[in-house]
Amino acid sequence: MSCFCFGQKMDSLWKVYRDKSKADTARLRAIQVISFNLRNSNPDTAIILAVQQLKMIGGFAPEKRKKWEAFAYSVIGTAYDTKGNYAKSLEYYLKGLRLDEERGDKKGIASCLNNIGNIYRNQSNYLQALDYYLKSLKLREELGDKPATATTYMNIGIVYSFQSVYTMALEYYLKALRINEEMKDKEGIGNCYGNLGAVYFNTADYPKALEYFLKSLHIREEIKDVQGIGNCYGNIGAIYKEQKKFNEALTYFLKDLNVCREVGDKQGTGICYGNLSSLYSELANYTLALLYSDSELVVCNEIGDIDGMREAYENLATAYSKTKRYKEAYESHVRFKALTDSIFNTENSKQLGDMKTKFEIEKKEAELKVKAEFEQDKLKAIAREEKKRQQVIIASVAGVLVVVLMFSLFLYKRFKVTERQKEIIEKQKQRVDEAYTMLHERNKEVMDSIYYARRIQRALITSEKYMENAFNRLMKGK
């Protein structure tokens, strides 16, 4: 689930919510964060605030209202889950799922599917739980939502752990741990440590289990996760019980019980009663063992926790047997066996395996489909690029042809102009030649006239030398 402003202090959020001068959206966001943060530690208050949020959005437009309603329903569903009221929790989760499907909100749908899986898991209906978890996982992997994917991996691991398929449980827990470490999500890392410790506890590797439980406790104390701290107390107490350190075990079991009562965690309270019943049986205090077993049975019957009821009948059978109440012991054992067979049987285990195989096949098919679509898109992209390249080439060639054509037209026009100019020049040259010829002929006629006149002149006019000689002769004659 996503939310706003987790870093804000609760006091400042309460201040915003109570300030009616603030915009409705700001007040709604404040109350939303408060209710979300209280859904596990103080579920009753979370429900009251979420209901108040639903009243505040009454005047909103339908599409806008659906988003706020879906979130409020999720908070209420989680709060009822914490209180152990699984019927109410499932009711609100389904309301939220319907709204998210109407809005096409894949992230919201995945969250609702995961939460519904939690309800079925708490009711020991592991086949239904795994079905919803795998549907949620498919969407979350599609969205690339790593934190949410890690959460779903964790839940799937829990289902396999409850079915004693510890290799599969470890596989999914380690997948979740890798993502949480990558995201530096302390709460997620703490959850992974706790679940890994549970696997090692169930395989009787108590030192390794205690190591992981203490790591988980350290982180939960650091982030002030009250309910998580209680879970760690119970797990550490279980290890001390197996190691026959009964005083230490009792201390941690009682710490766990106080936390569960404080936060109103009915399922956790039932588990605490079972742990105390088993411990007092070990201590041969069968009166207290029977008392706590009865209390566990009442709580688990109230919330529909079949696995808790199964454990309560087992503890009752042990305590009755030790106190020689064999009839009650037999009846309790028969009920224990019937519930065990309803949860742990070959058919269920096979279906769990088949569901995982089906999921893996569908996932592989989806990956192949995506890959095929990618390759097809790649080929289409290449074809588009090739077509575009061809269009560019054609356009370039066409452009060059147009330029060549235009240049040819230009040259043709220039050629025509030149031809006309040449023709004009030829005509002008011809005219000049004709004028020159005429001028030459006229000049010749003039020169011929001059030459003729000069000859006449020479013929008519005696030369100076001749006259000089004649004059000289005349003078000598005197």
pLDDT tens per residue, range 132-151: 999 999 999 999 999 999 99
pLDDT score for 463? 60
Asked whether the beta carbons of 257 and 267 are under 8 A apart, the reply is no
**Segment 107-122 mean pLDDT:** 94
**Segment 246-273 mean pLDDT:** 93
Q: In the chain, what are the domain boundaries?
A: 374-478
**Segment 188-203 mean pLDDT:** 94
Report which DSSP code applies to 57: T
pLDDT tens per residue, range 20-54: 777 777 888 888 888 888 887 788 989 998 898 88
Asked whether the beta carbons of 127 and 355 are under 8 A apart, the reply is yes
pLDDT score for 188? 92
Q: Could you tell me which residue, 384 or 12, shows the higher pLDDT? A: 12
Report the amino acid identity of residue 331.
E
pLDDT score for 355? 59
pLDDT score for 443? 74
Q: Quickly state the pLDDT bin for 2 (edges 50, 70, 90).
A: very low
Written as one string, the DSSP assignment of 250-310 is HHHHHHHHHHHHHHT-HHHHHHHHHHHHHHHHHTT-HHHHHHHHHHHHHHHHHHT-HHHHH
Q: Where are the alpha helices (DSSP H) in 19-122?
A: 24-38, 43-56, 62-83, 86-103, 106-122
pLDDT score for 3? 35
pLDDT score for 377? 59
Asked whether the beta carbons of 68 and 42 are under 8 A apart, the reply is no
Q: Could you tell me which residue, 2 or 393, shows the higher pLDDT? A: 393
* Rounded percentage of the chain residues whose pLDDT exceeds 90: 49
Map tokens 């201390």 to a residue: 251
Asked whether the beta carbons of 253 and 276 are under 8 A apart, the reply is yes
Q: Could you tell me which residue, 463 or 239, shows the higher pLDDT? A: 239
pLDDT score for 474? 74
Asked whether the beta carbons of 84 and 265 are under 8 A apart, the reply is yes
Written as six digits, the tokens of 247 are 């005083």
Q: Could you tell me which residue, 168 or 399, shows the higher pLDDT? A: 168
Cα 433 to Cα 183, 424, 439, 446, 459: the distances in Å are: 103, 14, 10, 19, 38
Q: Could you tell me which residue, 272 or 22, shows the higher pLDDT? A: 272
pLDDT score for 462? 57
Report which DSSP code applies to 105: -
Report the amino acid identity of residue 89.
S
pLDDT score for 6? 38
pLDDT score for 5? 36
| Mean pLDDT, rounded, of the chain | 84
Burial class (CB in 10 A: 0-12, 13-18, 19+), 240: buried
Nearest to 106 by CA among 155, 148, 54, 153: 148
pLDDT score for 428? 78
**Segment 77-89 mean pLDDT:** 90
Written as six digits, the tokens of 403 are 């330029």
* Rounded percentage of the chain residues whose pLDDT exceeds 70: 87
pLDDT score for 370? 45
Q: Which residues contact 237 (CB under 8 A, 6 or more apart)?
A: 248, 249, 250, 251, 252, 253, 255, 256, 275, 279
Phi, psi of 205 (to 5 degrees): -95, 75
Written as six digits, the tokens of 254 are 């009682």
pLDDT score for 135? 94
pLDDT score for 409? 78
Cα 117 to Cα 104, 277, 350, 357: the distances in Å are: 20, 29, 19, 18
Query: What is the C-alpha separation between 368 and 361, in angstroms, rounded?
Result: 10
**Segment 320-325 mean pLDDT:** 91
Q: Quickly state the pLDDT bin for 55 (edges 50, 70, 90).
A: confident
Q: Could you tell me which residue, 371 or 182, shows the higher pLDDT? A: 182
Q: Is the dihedral of CA 322, 324, 326, 328 positive or negative?
A: negative
pLDDT score for 1? 32
The SS3 assignment for 55 reads helix
How far does CA 213 lie from the centroid of its chain?
31
Q: Which long-range contacts (CB under 8 A, 24 or more apart) does 331-338 make?
A: 336/310
**Segment 469-473 mean pLDDT:** 75
How far does CA 271 lie from the centroid of its chain?
36
pLDDT tens per residue, range 277-300: 999 999 999 999 999 999 999 999
pLDDT score for 179? 95
Among 244-253, 283-292, 356-365, 382-391, the range scoring the smallest mean pLDDT is 356-365
pLDDT score for 465? 67
pTM of the model: 0.59
